[in-house]
Amino acid sequence: MRFFNTTGPVVAADHYCIPPLQRLNLTEVLRLIRDKRYFVLHAPRQTGKTSALLALRDLLNAEGDYRCVYVNVEGGQAMREDVELVTRTILAGLASRARLTLGDEFLGKMWPGLLDEVGPGVALQEALTRWSEATPKPLVLLIDEIDSLIGDSLLSVLRQLRAGYDLRPESFPQSVVLCGVRDVRDYRIHSSSANAIIAGGSAFNIKARSLRLGDFSQDEVIALLNQHTDETGQVFTSDALELIWTQTQGQPWLVNALAEETCFYGEAAEDRGISITADAIRDAQEQLILRRETHLDQLADKLKEDRVQRVVEPLLSGAEERRFIDRDIEYVRDLGLVARDRPVRIANPIYAEVVPRELTWVIQEEFEQETTWYVNADGSLDMVELLTEFQTFFREHSEHWVTRFQYQEAGPQLLLQAFLQRIVNSGGRIEREYGLGRMRTDLLIVWPQGEQTRKIVIECKILHKSLEQTIADGLDQTAEYMDRCDAEAGHLVIFDRREGRRWEDKVFRDHRTSGSGGEIDIWGM
């Protein structure tokens, strides 16, 4: 039986998959190779880049016009800026792949003595020259994980490829594809030898194009999931199919991970007659987040970087529109954390859930709060008691706790979300909407109560104008969100961060009716 793949390149015999070459603009790729171009293929991690490269290699070798070799240079990362050791690693990898893929022993016999003959700064260039001259057909070289190399080691590889460019195809590879997370133009390479920052574009100015491997389309998501149904008879309900698309926006690892979790673990794995429902998908999403799966953990680790914070923090706080540094926004888009199109926003709802939870993970564990304190006898969640307790906590401790966040601009919102997550996570869930220019953060608490599901809206706003204007704007926004979510209760939380204000003036509770008739509690903090 095939299964959903979440680790490494896809193998059609083992995995449900969308054919990798179908996800490329193959016509353009083949034209670039035919025209002897050097180009870049980039995409976020676990999107399918390596699968695409391996499929391209096999296609080119099967067609017979070229001899194509794939090599992964990530092993050189451990050698940092030791150019000689990195060069040895790359040449050894190329020789091994040439032997395994083409049955070609030439490079393996030649390269070890080459380092002593010409030195590490020229060895890769000379090896490719001699190999190209010895091979009966033009070489095509696919270099994966190129941006895992560091500093002078990366510069050495790029410059040696550039140095041999004019010799192609008789004495250098016909085409070279550099593959990584980022486009080469976005590299900011610190050269220890030159004590300077070198732009990747200047080190590799022979690049003809930059191609980006996209996420799955909605049709591709459905096609992938239907492969499981066709082979096992197990169906995904229409709500489940829609939810997978909505929550992942086609991010390949997320799609496969949700499907794997629901189809191959638990009751559905034992009984293929059990349909995969939307509730099962939501449970799977929560399990992935709680386990801090490597894909999500690696993404969350990037939140510590200053250039990521400069983009993500205003999204979390709902700040006004602002102009980002171009390199910052390009970087977070290349990571896959932020959507490619406008407006600037987190790429998908699962990442949008992971970001605030990751930023508040440690603090959640430190709260001395229990869910049972806020559950009524009928099983409902006592939101008034919960927010009253948070209001008291915020007054007494916020100055200390907010400063513990790296993202202090969004500190009040994150502190509230951490408090709520600690309570709600044991029985319900929180859905979040936030983004640049929204001037608010929307939280929806979904709480099961017997056979029913209760929905409660919490709208968070920073006091920017007068209190009454902020309340007026917030009431309309809260009522609109309540109507859209079909929520039965709404709460508007207003954080007053103006300096010099006494807590007596900031802390209050009020009850208002919105213009649309919704009953909303207002909490000042």
CA angle 206, 208, 214 (to 5 degrees): 130
β-pair type (508-513, 519-524): antiparallel
Q: pTM surpassing 0.85?
A: yes
Q: Are 140 and 181 in contact (CB under 8 A)?
A: no
Q: Are 336 and 44 in contact (CB under 8 A)?
A: yes
For residue 343, whether the previous peptide bond is cis, meaning omega lies within 30 degrees of 0, is: yes
pLDDT tens digits, 374-385: 999 999 999 999
As separate numbers, helices (DSSP H) first and strands (DSSP E) second, the chain gives 21, 15
| pLDDT at res. 228 | 98
Instruction: Give the 3-state secondary structure of residue 118.
Output: helix
d(CA 344, CA 326): 12
d(CA 252, CA 259): 11
Q: Average pLDDT, stretch 472-501?
A: 93
Bridge partners (DSSP) of residue 142 are 70, 177
pLDDT tens digits, 208-230: 999 999 999 999 999 999 999 99
Phi, psi of 204 (to 5 degrees): -140, 60
The pLDDT > 90 percentage for the chain reads: 80
Residue ranges with strand state E in 428-499:
429-433, 441-449, 452-462, 489-495
pLDDT tens digits, 280-331: 999 999 999 999 999 999 988 999 999 999 999 999 988 777 778 888 999 9
In this structure, which long-range contacts are made by residues 84-92, counting pairs with CB atoms below 8 Å and at least 24 apart in sequence?
84/115, 84/120, 86/149, 86/153, 86/156, 86/157, 87/115, 87/120, 87/123, 87/124, 87/156, 88/115, 88/120, 90/124, 90/157, 91/115, 91/123, 91/124, 91/127
β-pair type (489-495, 3-4): unpaired
Class of the domain covering 218-291: mainly alpha
**Helix, strand, coil share (%) of the chain residues, nearest 5:** 55, 15, 30
Superfamily of domain 19-212: P-loop containing nucleotide triphosphate hydrolases (3.40.50.300)
Q: How many Cβ atoms sit within 10 Å of the Cβ of residue 119?
A: 13
d(CA 88, CA 85): 5
Residues sharing a CB contact under 8 Å with residue 193, sequence separation 6 or more, in sequence order: 152
Residue ranges per structural domain of the chain? 19-212, 218-291, 360-524
How far apart, in Å, are the Cα atoms of 271 and each of 16, 77, 257?
A: 19, 45, 19
Confidence of residue 491 (pLDDT cuts 50, 70, 90): very high
d(CA 441, CA 461): 7
Least confident segment among 75-84, 183-192, 200-209, 290-299 = 183-192
